[in-house]
Amino acid sequence: MDQSVREQFLRDIDRNPSKFPQGIRTLLEARGMGSDFEAAKRQENRYKRARELFNKRTW
C-alpha cells in the first residue's frame, strides 16, 4: 500500500506541482537536484575509470 500511495503522490506532483505549498515544492526540487548530482557523480566516476584505462594503454 505504501508504494501505491507514493506512486500516486509522484503522479500528482508531475501533473500539477503548483498546487503544493512553496516549502514542499522547494524540498521536491532539492530532492531532484540531489538525484541529478548523484547520477552525474556516478557517470563521472565511470569516465574517470575509462580515462585511467586508456592512459595506461592496457586495453
Task: Give 43's pLDDT tier (boundaries 50, 70, 90).
Answer: very high
Q: What mean pLDDT do residues 5-14 have?
A: 80
pLDDT of residue 49: 92
* Residue in this structure with the C-alpha cell 584505462, named with its chain if needed: 53
Residue 21: pLDDT over 90: no
What pTM value is reported for the model?
A: 0.44
d(CA 14, CA 16): 6
Domain ranges (residues) in the chain: 2-56
Sorted by sequence, the CB contacts under 8 Å of residue 59 that are 6+ apart come out as 53
